[in-house]
Structure 1
Amino acid sequence: MDSISSRPSKSKKIILRSVIALGLALGCVSAVKREDFKTCAQSGFCTRNRAYADLAKETPNWTSPYQLTTSSLKLQNGVLTGDLINTQEDKHPSPRPGLSFELHLLDNDAVRVRINERDPVSPRYDGVQDTVLIKPYGLAKDSAYTRLDKDAAGALTIQYGAQDQNKIKVSSAPFKIEFFVNDVPTVVLNDEGLLRFERLRKKEEESKKEEGKEEEGKEESKLVDQDAAGDEVDIKVEKSPLELKLEENLWEERFKDHTDSKPRGPESIGLDITFSGINHVYGVPEHATSLSLKATKGAGAPYSEPYRLYNLDVFEYEIDNPMALYGSIPFMLGHSKNSTAAVFWMNAAETWVDVEKNAEDKDSGLLSWIKSKKAVSTPATKTHWISEAGVLDLFVFLGPTHRDIFRQYSSLVGTTALPQSFSIAYHQCRWNYNSQQDVAEVDAGFDEHDIPYDVLWLDIEHTDGKRYFTWDNAKFPNPTDMQQSLSAKGRKMVTIIDPHIKKDDNYHVSKEGAELDVYIKNKDGNTAFDGWCWPGSSQWIDFYNPKARDWWASQFSYDRYIGSTKSLFTWNDMNEPSVFNGPEITIPKDVIHYGNVEHRNVHNLYGTMFHSATAQGLTQRNETNQRPFVLSRAFFAGTQRFGAIWTGDNMASWEHLEIASPMLLTIGLSGLPFSGADVGGFFGNPDAELLTRWYQAGIYYPFFRAHAHIDSKRREPWLFGEPYTSQIREAVRTRYTFLPFWYTLFHEASVDGTPIIRPMFTEFPEDEAVFATDDQYMVGNALLVKPVSKAGVTRSTVYFAGDEKWFDIKDYSVEQGPGAKEIASPADKIPVYQRAGTIVPKRERPRRSSKAMENDPFTLVIALDSQGEATGRIYLDDGETFNYEQGDYILREFRASNGVLSSHNLKTGSVGKTSEFVQRIGALRIERLVILGSKTKLTKVTVGNGNVAEVECSKAPIGGSYVCTVKEPKVAIGEDFELSWV
């Protein structure tokens, strides 16, 4: 292992990062230290499985050695089980005759495939499901298998689905599973024959095997000598380079100065998954790359490395790179004009994913006719999934729509927790605000410059020597008063709390943790692991220990976290976990968790477990039934149940502003919608133009926070002067006017898993022009956003999808789809358009915080489509407690049709007495209707009770339709109403 002295101290690390940042600004220094992180060639199991794939490709008539024993198949309680053997390993009776195969047909039309060792020398880790899956799922009844047919070759066919549209074909020899939608092949498992299961074995067994090989080799050498003595042609029996790679780093593995002892030996799994008829696949975050994943193998592949899923602290990360970053979600969605499908590879060990694309033939004319007479492969994306340990546990989702897939997936791993309303407003952060006086001055600066914000953050310097749950008494002598001062304006505070605990017997958290024995253990399983992080010598909480989780949660109670109040919330950083002197700046794989679980099996889940325990602590700490807010840097599938994440230590560059959009879109469609990127960039110093453009983009991130490195210049929104202060103020205020719309989208995501910001293809699934588009996107189904991500740009190319109109949200000018058009994007705005056919709720009075807006009236912006119709929703609750779970909320649908706007209640079920809060908020008035897209000038608006409202109309600047404003229609947001216009 690296010595402590070989890692930079905190001060040295800050200086190093500053020098690198300066070098980047000058264009002379590479951002990330690539040598700190493995490539596939430096990872034994990745090398072995990739070599296996290459061997399969180079071997004529390659056939997978895995076969399903059809006579062993049994169907019981909705699960099909059987024996899967490797014909190269299971030729003779053995204590370990093969693998167990399971196929689960779920009642939500998803399918689960599990493969495990039948009788291993020791159990393979199979606990990921206990953390990731939210509850036991429902299985289809055995009657759903009534259309289970077996053909002459032994292949099984199962018909299923709500409309009986899906089919599974399980072939036995070689083993392969094909998924069809309406008889069209969509997903195929083991089509390339790359299924590979490294069986657990004893090292002594491996040694004997090697001895046998040596003896065999000697005999072969002798034959070669005899042949050579007789002047005959030499015959050499040697392994190919690929075959040799299959035996690399089986029992011990070194990287730089670190050694992974690998006490269980090789145990990786691999499988190829083909998306048939699909050229675009998305997902497997987190990577700083395009939305539509680029190929990593095949002719002309842009990348030579697979996408790596291994949570790591990679500061100043590069863009356009498949390197691992802070989070991992092994979910992939494929889409074409004719089909949509997704897979979830439920494994928390280090994982690599290769992508190879078989592009659709675009030739035309004579060449196309000639090719049509030959066998031409259909479009497909072939992926190869490789994990270091665990079992093969895979879910397949066939939709048929994106919304169906999001619903199916989220029903297994959970939807995003409905956040407190303040958390979707603007957050102000840097490393670090230096003192209580500094906090007061920054807070006052927002008021002075009329810029709203809701949360002020404190980084690690607020603590007493990096001891979490403490305060630096010299800098922050009265933290309770500081929080109450912010709270009086409706504002909150967030402090950072990391999973590494300073090793210090005089530090109460450190001492209690040792006494309770809740730290991760060294590979001996007895002594606590000791590593290096911000406080120096540190230990890490083992969140797999139930006692540790409960103890950690208890630390957030007000009597233990002295100086905390109910307006204080939490930021979990460094939870990959980051270990400065560890391999790849993280914890060794062979350390031990509770239950004798090796860290290698659960690495990608560690941050989620930490996030979960912190959220538990914030929920339990008070008696006000308050929802938690916790931000995490590391994540996995299921993290969305506990709070928000962000994309880590980005840089103040136009390239990082540009890459934020595809990164956030990818994370969102992978089930984690509450995400954001540091506005302005964490490292470096943005100029005024970059910072302004980043605010204009950042107001459309689900999580909207500005953040900066300790060495960066101060960049509060007013420090660059005019016109930038006004431009940033206008951007932030725009976010606040749309908060009712954002909160409604968060509610929708909490119910069915639908992403909040969405790739264009999810809203326009048949428009091939948008399948790879990631420089513009949708907020919900209503707003089209095109960030400006290059310097000096004043005109932007915007693609308007669909056959309807789009309305600029500022001046209501009209553009007609479909097609691309050059749109003005001056310094004070970016292109944002409301889609015809939608109704968006807003609050348009500027206030200092979202809390100050809770009694304000509403505006509805009604964008009529070509048929004169539009729909929209609003969701409202108290924005703070869990009372909504008992039905204490408002959910209404607005519908415009044939010149009539109506409001209807969508809340279902008996909820008992409605709270005073909901009665009050439901009585708030709608003060304005803005009707867009009318072909004629409206002259009269009549409410159902006979009241006539004032209406004013004017021509839109572009597009020829009218913009009509109805003032004070005298209706309330929470009531049923109808009003008509002529």
Structure 2
Amino acid sequence: MYFNKIQNPPNFAFIPPHGLKKNRATLPGHKIVLRTADLGEDVFEISYESPAWEYRSHSGLDLNAFKSPSRAELQIAPHGGFAIRSGRSNLLATLPQEAFGVCGQSWMVQFAPESGQQFYGMGEKNNGFEKSGVRTKFWNTDVWADFHADAFINGTTDPMYLSVPYLIIKKGNTYLGLLVDNPHAVYMGISPQVSIGGEQLKTELRQPFFIGSSDGTARMYVIVGPTLHDLTCKFQRLVGVTPRPPLWSLGYQQCRWGYQSYQCLDNLDKNFSKHGIPCDGLWLDIDYMRGYRVFTFEQKHFSAPSAQIARIQKRGRKVVPIIDPGVKIDPGYHVYDSGLKSKAYCKTPAGKDFVGFVWPGATVFPDFASPKARAWWVGQVAQFASGSGIQGAWLDMNDPAVGASELDPMLFNGGKWDHSSYHNQYALGMAMASREGFLKAHPDKRPFLLSRSGFTGMSKYAAIWTGDNFSNDHHLKNAVPMSLNLALSGIPFNGPDAGGFGGHTTAELMIAWFKMQFLFPFFRNHTHQGCRAQEPWAFGTKTLGILREYIRLRYKLLPYLYNLYIRHEQTGEAILRPLIYDFEDTGKLPLGHVGDQFMAGPAIMQAPVLSSSSDAREVTLPEAHWFSCLDAKWIRGGRKLRVKQKARTTPLYFREGGIVPMQVGARKDQKNDLGKIELHIFLRKDSKGTATCRYIFDDGESFQYRKGGESEYFIEAKVSSGKLQVKVDKLRANCGALEVSFVLYDGFKTIVVNGVDPQVHPLTLKKGVHEFAGSKLPVWTTAPLRF
């Protein structure tokens, strides 16, 4: 498998002009049948089918349906191409001649390039935010094993751990999505520049925009936004949303390769309490196991695993162990023996169990394509989870990583499927079975799974961290555009290892990383054994104070972040998103290349300084009014400006019209009461619009919310005759009443809540200073009210 090479259009035989008759065409080795379907809401399915691919298209994607009729139209051309039209405009069209072609088992679709197009998505790629000129393949890799160190430390590794062959096409302020539903090695060439030995050839050899795969049915889904917000919601609903996660998974997580024992966990717990740092998760790497045997504990590290884990979790911190798919070949080891009996392992063409090399040495691998093997894994996970009391796990090495072994002999579904037909879905199968195992062990507890690898639709089962990164500015800078494109590609719950996994970090780099990542969906500090310690207290008093401040700030914002996940489950909205998600491009202020800033939901924008040696950057402020935490005042948008941060501050902005629920006071531990909050209302005395917020809270851990076990309030605020008018509607209070104090960011003399005349029932506004993101902000607050 060549990771950095893709197919070349001149090598393909394309359907000739008028070669498609009654949706059928003949190409070398293939009798093509073109099938199309309008799924509703401007979502279209297009597939080119052939008997040669019939048994080689084992896609595990479980697609959801749409109900509303489409407004756009799908048109088929006599040469086998197609176009998506809206009114008189072509939104997307294949090449007028060479649209669909084959080369052996591989297929390709070519599209007509248009000036001004921009491209995004592609899942987990570290090749920048906008994708024009990119040549890429989708094939899950074990990056540190499959690339040279120079590439993964300071260069570009493509492909990476996770494959989502989804492309977003931007034309003006209209967006389309193109998903390839194919488990084989999909490739894309976005008008790539041809090169030889790294030297680009002449521009006349520039190729069109094309997609294809090495094998399997050419099945695609084309989605018309028209906005990026609409497109993302439709795509997420198509492939499946992230279920509401447990609240603890949104907190700060601490990990290191080397945490292996109860003593490690106990020391970490005591240090977090000593330093007043909230932390929800303490993670165990591979050394907790007995000789790296999955589903075991080393007795000298855990003499009584269930009781010791219960002791830590009773203090409010979850224990999250790593689970690898590789099973050590060791007769007498109960997991290995049980898998043999269940015929649960991948086979070779010779009919033997496939053997690879992972941490325990020679290992066999569960065949997640087989229902029987998945059921076996479900049982193993359930037994491990119920016996130890854990409520989440970290799924690693599931690319699959097999060490020095070749992958091709690793067959699936009892040896009936070749490797390429399931390789990219291996981690998806593991996540599906692992989640089912946790639900079997703890039926009314929301599990949390974190996976290294994955495929389209992974968000229904597990979050993703972006794998083994490195402690340097290069990886710091790549983190934002990579996470943004993952979020747009249906993987909203994602994030990198804060501080970097490999290499020796510095205090300056840790500060820059925490300032960048404290609003990311996933926030875990993780590092390699033998590298400098990265716990918040490992860098001295000054650095400890700054890192602690941003961890605490995340916890203060948990009510807001949690509600972003609730909204995502309901609608498919993105959580972390680029500026073009919430704002339109203009000639004056183009936003399509701004990949180093982001919105966290609709109300908060961050423009982190992505360098450990700099304190300044250019910030693009979209058209709106913004409350700047750097300046402690309101500033107008629609422009770019140069800003400079201090040691404790970061460029953080709240959008006018936002209502942001926060926890009360500074959060010094991980205890949360989502029924007692502050509502921060970002309106000026001159604001014209209305600010709204739908706030929901529940117990944070069970599935009772699906049975109505939650409280829901609708809050509306507007400025009228110099007064701030606030309305709080209780929609339901099945999880308790809501206690609220209001925090304002302009000098209103009067606040009227639910129409009550302040002269009859005075509601005092007290002016004060609110410490936030290293700044002292002037605010006006009220006493708590109960609704």
Q: Report Cα offsets for 1:168-221 as digits up to 9, x if no partner.
A: 33210x2221112232212113446152224xxxxxxxxxxxxxxxxxxxxxxx
Could you tell me how far apart the structure 1 residues matched to 2:514 and 2:770 are?
27
Q: What is the DSSP-based 3-state SS (H/G/I as helix, E as strand, rest coil) of the residue aligned with 2:381? A: coil
Could you tell me how far apart the structure 2 residues matched to 1:742 and 1:862 are?
16
Q: Percent identity?
A: 27
Residues 1:189 and 2:189 aligned together: no
Selected match of 1:541 from 362, 366, 379: 366
Q: What is the DSSP-based 3-state SS (H/G/I as helix, E as strand, rest coil) of the residue aligned with 1:657? A: helix
Residues 1:840 and 2:666 aligned together: no
- Matched with 2:184 is 349
Instruction: Please identify the structure whose Cα radius of gyration is greater.
Output: 1
- Matched with 1:438 is 264
Give the conservation status (yes or no) of the 8 Å contact 1:431–1:710: yes
Selected match of 1:967 from 762, 767, 782: 782
- Matched with 1:418 is 244
Q: Where does 1:309-348 land on structure 2 (aligned, <5 Å)? A: 309-315=138-144, 317=152, 321=156, 323-348=158-183
Residues 1:110 and 2:43 aligned together: yes
- Matched with 1:681 is 500
TM-score in terms of structure 2 length:
0.91
Residues 1:489 and 2:308 aligned together: no
Q: What is the DSSP-based 3-state SS (H/G/I as helix, E as strand, rest coil) of the residue aligned with 1:471? A: coil
Q: Report Cα offsets for 1:482-519 as digits up to 9, x if no partner.
A: 32222222210100111111011121110110111111
Q: What is the DSSP-based 3-state SS (H/G/I as helix, E as strand, rest coil) of the residue aligned with 1:390? A: coil
Deviation at 1:701, TM superposition (A): 1.1
Q: Where does 1:461-480 land on structure 2 (aligned, <5 Å)? A: 461-480=287-306
Could you tell me how far apart the structure 1 residues matched to 2:153 and 2:301 are?
36
Could you tell me how far apart the structure 1 residues matched to 2:597 and 2:233 are?
24
- Matched with 1:507 is 333
Q: What is the DSSP-based 3-state SS (H/G/I as helix, E as strand, rest coil) of the residue aligned with 2:105? A: coil
Residues 1:291 and 2:129 aligned together: yes
Could you tell me how far apart the structure 2 residues matched to 1:342 and 1:562 are?
42
Q: What is the DSSP-based 3-state SS (H/G/I as helix, E as strand, rest coil) of the residue aligned with 2:277? A: coil
Could you tell me how far apart the structure 2 residues matched to 1:855 and 1:791 are?
35
Selected match of 2:429 from 570, 595, 609: 609
Assess, with a 3 A threshold, how the Cα gap between structure 1 residues 940 and 271 changes in structure 2: closer, same or farther.
closer
Could you tell me how far apart the structure 2 residues matched to 1:942 and 1:956 are?
22
Residues 1:307 and 2:136 aligned together: yes
Query: What letter matches 2:421 in structure 1?
Result: N
Residues 1:528 and 2:357 aligned together: no
Give the conservation status (yes or no) of the 8 Å contact 1:776–1:784: yes
Could you tell me how far apart the structure 1 residues matched to 2:15 and 2:42 are?
28
Assess, with a 3 A threshold, how the Cα gap between structure 1 residues 864 and 113 changes in structure 2: closer, same or farther.
same
Could you tell me how far apart the structure 2 residues matched to 1:308 and 1:115 are?
20
Assess, with a 3 A threshold, how the Cα gap between structure 1 residues 410 and 792 changes in structure 2: closer, same or farther.
closer
Q: Where does 1:383-402 land on structure 2 (aligned, <5 Å)? A: 383-402=209-228
Give the conservation status (yes or no) of the 8 Å contact 1:99–1:115: yes
Q: Where does 1:373-772 land on structure 2 (aligned, <5 Å)? A: 382-524=208-350, 526-558=351-383, 563-565=387-389, 567-583=390-406, 587-588=407-408, 591-594=411-414, 596-623=416-443, 625-767=444-586, 769-772=590-593
Deviation at 1:480, TM superposition (A): 2.1
Q: What is the DSSP-based 3-state SS (H/G/I as helix, E as strand, rest coil) of the residue aligned with 1:555? A: helix
Give the conservation status (yes or no) of the 8 Å contact 2:493–2:522: yes
Selected match of 2:11 from 52, 75, 87: 52
Query: What letter matches 2:646 in structure 1?
Result: P
Deviation at 1:941, TM superposition (A): 4.5
Tell me, which stretches of 5 or more residues in structure 1 are unaligned? 1-36, 57-62, 73-81, 90-95, 141-160, 199-265, 297-305, 359-376, 908-913, 973-982
Q: What is the DSSP-based 3-state SS (H/G/I as helix, E as strand, rest coil) of the residue aligned with 1:593? A: coil
Could you tell me how far apart the structure 2 residues matched to 1:65 and 1:288 are?
37
Selected match of 1:125 from 40, 56, 59: 56
Residues 1:167 and 2:73 aligned together: yes
Q: Report Cα offsets for 1:628-686 as digits up to 9, x if no partner.
A: 11100001111000121100000000110110000000000001100010001000111
Give the conservation status (yes or no) of the 8 Å contact 2:325–2:365: yes
Could you tell me how far apart the structure 1 residues matched to 2:207 and 2:696 are?
40
Give the conservation status (yes or no) of the 8 Å contact 1:280–1:381: no
Query: What letter matches 1:643 in structure 2?
Result: A
Tell me, which stretches of 5 or more residues in structure 2 are unaligned? 194-202, 772-776
Give the conservation status (yes or no) of the 8 Å contact 2:236–2:490: yes
Could you tell me how far apart the structure 2 residues matched to 1:445 and 1:66 are?
72
Deviation at 1:100, TM superposition (A): 0.8
Could you tell me how far apart the structure 1 residues matched to 2:112 and 2:394 are?
39
Could you tell me how far apart the structure 2 residues matched to 1:805 and 1:954 are?
22
Query: How many residues are matched?
Result: 754
Deviation at 1:885, TM superposition (A): 1.5
Query: What letter matches 2:2 in structure 1?
Result: K
Q: What is the DSSP-based 3-state SS (H/G/I as helix, E as strand, rest coil) of the residue aligned with 1:440? A: helix
Assess, with a 3 A threshold, how the Cα gap between structure 1 residues 793 and 417 changes in structure 2: closer, same or farther.
same
Could you tell me how far apart the structure 2 residues matched to 1:357 and 1:310 are?
19
CA RMSD of aligned residues (A): 2.6
Give the conservation status (yes or no) of the 8 Å contact 2:438–2:447: yes
Assess, with a 3 A threshold, how the Cα gap between structure 1 residues 646 and 275 changes in structure 2: closer, same or farther.
farther
Query: What letter matches 1:882 in structure 2?
Result: F
Give the conservation status (yes or no) of the 8 Å contact 1:809–1:833: yes
TM-score in terms of structure 1 length:
0.73
Selected match of 1:85 from 26, 42, 47: 26
Query: What letter matches 2:501 in structure 1?
Result: F
Deviation at 1:754, TM superposition (A): 1.6
Selected match of 2:697 from 863, 876, 879: 876
Q: What is the DSSP-based 3-state SS (H/G/I as helix, E as strand, rest coil) of the residue aligned with 1:733? A: helix
Q: Where does 1:858-897 land on structure 2 (aligned, <5 Å)? A: 858-864=677-683, 866-867=687-688, 869-897=690-718
Q: Where does 1:217-236 land on structure 2 (aligned, <5 Å)? A: none
Q: What is the DSSP-based 3-state SS (H/G/I as helix, E as strand, rest coil) of the residue aligned with 1:288? A: coil
Deviation at 1:757, TM superposition (A): 0.5
Deviation at 1:335, TM superposition (A): 1.5
Query: What letter matches 1:938 in structure 2?
Result: K
Assess, with a 3 A threshold, how the Cα gap between structure 1 residues 725 and 598 changes in structure 2: closer, same or farther.
same
- Matched with 2:199 is none
Give the conservation status (yes or no) of the 8 Å contact 1:281–1:381: no
Assess, with a 3 A threshold, how the Cα gap between structure 1 residues 656 and 871 changes in structure 2: closer, same or farther.
same
Give the conservation status (yes or no) of the 8 Å contact 2:354–2:410: no
Give the conservation status (yes or no) of the 8 Å contact 2:428–2:455: yes
- Matched with 1:246 is none
Give the conservation status (yes or no) of the 8 Å contact 1:737–1:844: yes
Assess, with a 3 A threshold, how the Cα gap between structure 1 residues 450 and 507 changes in structure 2: closer, same or farther.
same
Give the conservation status (yes or no) of the 8 Å contact 1:67–1:84: no
- Matched with 2:761 is 947
Deviation at 1:906, TM superposition (A): 6.1
Deviation at 1:538, TM superposition (A): 0.4
Selected match of 2:638 from 806, 811, 818: 818
- Matched with 2:774 is none
Query: What letter matches 1:352 in structure 2?
Result: Y
Q: Report Cα offsets for 1:86-129 as digits up to 9, x if no partner.
A: 4xx5xxxxxx8821110101123200001111x44x7342321x
- Matched with 2:16 is 65
Query: What letter matches 2:139 in structure 1?
Result: Y
Q: What is the DSSP-based 3-state SS (H/G/I as helix, E as strand, rest coil) of the residue aligned with 1:112? A: strand
Deviation at 1:404, TM superposition (A): 2.3
Query: What letter matches 2:395 in structure 1?
Result: N
